[in-house]
Amino acid sequence: MPIFEYQAITPEKGCPKCKTGFEHIQFSNEELLTNCPYCGAKIKKVISWCRAAMIETSKTYTQAKNNIADYEKQGMWSHAAELADKQAEKSHDKNLKIRALDNYKKAGYNPSMLDKHLNDE
């Protein structure tokens, strides 16, 4: 369901909502709003800025994460931990470091030593 943005045609006649603009969720086959649902002032649909973000990851990083997941599915915790730890060092990925520590714990490593390792960063 799309989000449409509206603003008062004459801002000085609008309420605080439509004066500065507001978002309204509606089906694309619904008629556009012509009056503010808050105060009744005449409004118009405005074109919004696209604020999308894309994050690209390298093939190596993606392959490493897939390998880690495969090791985890097989219960090979120490392999998964080592690979995640190495990849976290390269990419500075805090979540991957936490995942590595979790896998080390599952592999039977001393949890107090691992927690210290996390806090050393």
Q: The tokens 């369901």 sit on which residue?
A: 1
Taking the CB of residue 31, how many other CB atoms lie within 10 A of it? 6
Overall pTM > 0.85: no
pLDDT in tens, 33-47: 999 999 999 999 987
> Bridge partners of 7?
44
Q: How many residues does the chain have?
A: 121
31 phi, psi to nearest 5 deg: -70, 145
Q: Helix (H, G, I), strand (E, B), or coil: what is residue 86?
A: helix
pLDDT in tens, 62-115: 999 999 999 999 999 999 999 999 999 888 888 898 899 899 999 998 867 765
